[in-house]
Homo-oligomer: A and B are copies of this chain.
Amino acid sequence: MSILVVGSVALDSIRTPFGEVEEILGGSATYFSVAASFFSPVRLVAVVGDDFPSEHVDFLRSRGVDTRGLRTVKGSTFRWRGYYTYDLNEAHTLETQLNVFEDFDPDIPEEYRDSEYVFLANIDPELQLKVLEQVRSPRLVVCDTMNFWIENKREALLETVSRVGWLLLNDAEARQLAGDPNLISAGRKLLGMGPERVIVKKGEHGVIMLAEEVFFSLPAYPLETVFDPTGAGDSFGGGLLGSLSRFPEPGEEEIRKAVVYGSVVASFAVEDFSCRRLRTLTSEEIERRYCDFSAITCF
């Protein structure tokens, strides 16, 4: 099955209690693509500047990512600088340079428009809507978002949310968008906004998934060191859609398995900066940790 992701490819400078890095490969679409690539090829739509190191593109291609939709334009690549304290649930932004990303206008290549799975990573909801207008009857569209769009582009975001199949967001965003401090009733309110399924990422506390008559809760993998949480949510999304796309007709059981695979890949992603851990990750390691999830949660 074909998967399309539209989002950011960036250069991140990050400090955590465990180390510091400058201008490493980052961005929502990057993490999603690399995570999904363990299960399925991915089609990437994003923009970078002409300063973007070609080795990063080579890496994405080596993971089976179709980069024909990755446009290179004159200027500087999107850059983010931030840090985490020991409370790794919250990213502190020091600097955001949108650069070429400021004029990003997703033009979906003709050969991508029949993609069956579409992931609208965290970008301006007006751009997410533009993507929706270009794809032809996808089987499933999943969208992510962030507090900035909830505050500043609420109307467009609600329009996007009403038109996607699944909404994926973190716990603070779910509470904010629904205007409800209780996460369970917030999730129910988000379902009322249109999507048939809502998945709430809770970081170290795992993930919950809601649909009509459905509630699923999965704890996080117990990591003694979360080295860098950047990209955890997008890696989850990649593992989720990548593994889901392997099933011909996914039902509730397969969707839950996909949530576990998403959590598995995310748990590896946070073990090092950028995609470093994902570079060496093997399918055997993924399957082993999937079994660990069974052992950790069964009763």
Contacts and interface: CB of A to CB of B under 8 A. Distances in A.
A182 B297 contact: no
Number of copies: 2
Contacts of A184: 222-224
A204 B184 CA distance: 10
Contacts of A204: 183
Report, as a range, how many residues of chain A touch the other chain: 35 or more
B86 A181 contact: yes
A87 interface: yes
Given A205-B202, A219-B206, A182 B299 contact: no
Given A205-B205, A259-B299, A299-B256, A225 B185 contact: yes
B218 A219 contact: yes
Nearest to A254: B299
Contacts of A183: 204
Contact of A297 (B223, B226, B253, B297): B297
Given A86-B181, A297-B297, A215 B222 contact: yes
Interface of A: 86-87, 181-185, 188, 202, 204-206, 208, 215-220, 222-226, 253, 256-257, 259-260, 293-294, 296-299
